[in-house]
Amino acid sequence: MDWFYVKGILILSGINLLAVLGLSLLTGFTGLFSFGHAGFMAIGAYVTASMSIKFGLPFIPSLMIGAMGAALVSLFIGRWTLNLKGDYFCIATLGFGEAIRLILDNVQYFGGARGWPGIPLYTNLTNVLILNIIGVVILVNLIRSRHGRNMKAIREEELASQIIGINVFKYKMTSLAISAAYAGVAGGLLAHYTGFIQPKMFQLIKSTELTIIVIFGGLGSISGSIIGAIVLTSLPEILRAFAKWRLVIYGMAVIFIMITRPQGLMGGYEITYGNIKKLVSRIFSIFNTKKTLGGDKQ
Partner 1 sequence: MATFLQQVINGLSIGSVYALMAVGYSLVYSIMNFSNFAHGGVIMIGAYLGFFAMTLIELPFIIAFALAAVGAAMVAVVLERVAYRPLRNRNAPFLYFIISAMGASIFLENIVIATIGPNFRTYPRVFSATPYTIGSISIGRLDLTMFWVSAFSLAVLIFIIEKTKTGMAIRATAYSGRASVLMGVNTDRIIFIVFGLGGLLAGIAGVLFGMKYTVYPQIGFITMKSFIAAVFGGLGSLPGAVIGSVLLGTIETLTAGYISSQYRDLISFVLLILILIFRPRGLMGKVTEDKA
Burial class (CB in 10 A: 0-12, 13-18, 19+), 231: middle
Beta partners for residue 116, in sequence order:
197
Of 63, 277, 40, the C-alpha closest to 178 is 40
Rounded Cα distance between 128 and 11, Å, is 7
Nearer to partner 1, 111 or 188 (CB): 111
Nearer to partner 1, 84 or 280 (CB): 84
Determine the interface stretch with partner 1 among 47-55, 137-145, 165-173, 204-212 (rule: CB under 8 A).
Answer: 204-212
According to CB under 8 A, which one of 146, 240, 244, 282 is a site residue for partner 1?
Answer: 244
117-144 exposure pattern, b = at least 16 Cβ within 10 A, e = fewer:
eebeebbeeebbeebbeebbeebbebbe
Determine the interface stretch with partner 1 among 43-51, 82-90, 167-175, 265-273 (rule: CB under 8 A).
Answer: 82-90
As a 3-state breakdown, the chain gives helix, strand, coil percent values, each rounded to 5, of: 80, 0, 20
255: number of Cβ within 10 Å: 9
Q: How far is the CB of 262 from partner 1 (least distance, A)?
A: 5
253 contacts partner 1 (rule: CB under 8 A) = yes
Of 56, 89, 51, 57, the C-alpha closest to 69 is 51
258 contacts partner 1 (rule: CB under 8 A) = yes
2 contacts partner 1 (rule: CB under 8 A) = no
Determine the interface stretch with partner 1 among 154-162, 173-181, 184-192, 222-230 (rule: CB under 8 A).
Answer: 154-162
Q: How far is the CB of 186 from partner 1 (least distance, A)?
A: 20
164 contacts partner 1 (rule: CB under 8 A) = no
98 contacts partner 1 (rule: CB under 8 A) = yes
Q: How far is the CB of 237 from partner 1 (least distance, A)?
A: 16
Angle formed at CA 21 by CA 34 and CA 225, multiple of 5 degrees: 100
Determine the interface stretch with partner 1 among 41-49, 80-88, 274-282, 289-297 (rule: CB under 8 A).
Answer: 80-88
According to CB under 8 A, which one of 13, 81, 123, 174 is a site residue for partner 1?
Answer: 81
According to CB under 8 A, which one of 137, 160, 238, 279 is a site residue for partner 1?
Answer: 160
Nearer to partner 1, 61 or 251 (CB): 251
What are the backbone angles phi and psi of residue 116, rounded to the nearest 5°?
-125, 100
